[in-house]
Chain A
Amino acid sequence: MSEAFRRGVWLLFAVWLTGCSSKSYVVLVDSPYGETRDVTVTTPTGTTQIDRTQQAVSLDKQAPGRTFTLPPKQILMDFTPALAAQPTLPVYYTLYFDGASNRLTNASQETLQRILATLRKRTPAAVSVIGHTDTLGSASINEKVGLQRAQLIARQLQARHLDLLELTVASHGEENLLIKTPPNTAELRNRRVEVIIR
Chain B
Amino acid sequence: MKKNAWLFLCLSGLLAALPAHGASKPVGYVMTVQGNVTTTLKGTPTVIKVGTPVSVGTTFETGENGSFGITLEDGSVMSFGPQSTFTLEAFQFAPAKGALKLAASLKRGTLNYVAGTIARLKPEAVEILTPNGTIASRSAQFMAKIDHE
B partners with A: yes
Cα–Cα, bound, A43→B96 (Å): 33
Of B2-10, B15-23, B28-36, B40-48, the one with at least 4 CB within 8 A of chain A: B28-36
Given contacts A87-B70, A87-B77, contact A79 B135 (CB under 8 A): no
Name the CB-closest residue of A to B97. A175
Could you tell me if A85 and B139 are in contact, using CB atoms closer than 8 angstroms?
A: no
Q: Is the CB of A59 within 8 A of B144?
A: yes
A86 to B113, alpha carbons, bound, how many Å? 9
Q: Would you list which residues of chain A between 165 and 198 have a CB under 8 Å from chain B? A: 165-166, 168, 172-173, 175-176, 196, 198
For residue A64, which residue of chain B has the nearest CB?
A: B132
Beta-carbon contact of A24 and B73 below 8 Å:
no
Least CB distance from B137 to A in Å reads 5
Query: Are the CB atoms of B140 and A34 closer together than 8 Å?
Result: yes
Which B residues lie within 8 Å of A176 (CB)? 95-96
Bound together, the chains give a CA A80 to CA B65 distance in angstroms of 12
Enumerate A32-61 residues with CB–CB distance to B below 8 Å: 33-43, 57, 59-61
Q: Does B138 lie at the interface of the complex (its beta carbon under 8 Å from any beta carbon of A)?
A: yes
A79/B32 in contact, CB under 8 A: no
- Inter-subunit contact A27/B143 (CB<8 Å): yes
Other-chain residue from A60, A86, A124 in contact with B77 (beta carbon distance below 8 A)? A86
The verdict on A83 contacting chain B, using a C-beta distance below 8 Å, is yes
**Does any Cβ of B come within 8 Å of A117's Cβ?**
no
For A87, what are the chain B residues with a Cβ–Cβ distance below 8 Å? 31-32, 69-71, 77, 79
Which chain A residues lie closer than 8 Å to B24 at the CB level? none
A75–B116 Cα distance when bound, in Å, is 22
Within 8 A of B (CB), among A85-103: 85-90, 92
Residues of B within 8 A of A61 (CB): 131-132, 149
* B81:A82 contact, CB within 8 angstroms: yes
Smallest CB separation, B87 vs chain A (Å): 17
Please tell me if the beta carbons of B110 and A81 are within 8 angstroms of each other in the complex.
yes
Once the chains are docked, how many angstroms separate the CA of A24 from the CA of B129? 13
Interface residues of A (CB under 8 A from B): 23-29, 31, 33-43, 57, 59-61, 64-65, 75, 78-90, 92, 124, 126, 128, 165-166, 168, 172-173, 175-176, 196, 198
Which 10 A-B pairs give the minimum distances between C-beta atoms?
A: A34-B140, A87-B31, A23-B147, A31-B141, A81-B81, A82-B81, A175-B96, A85-B67, A85-B79, A90-B75
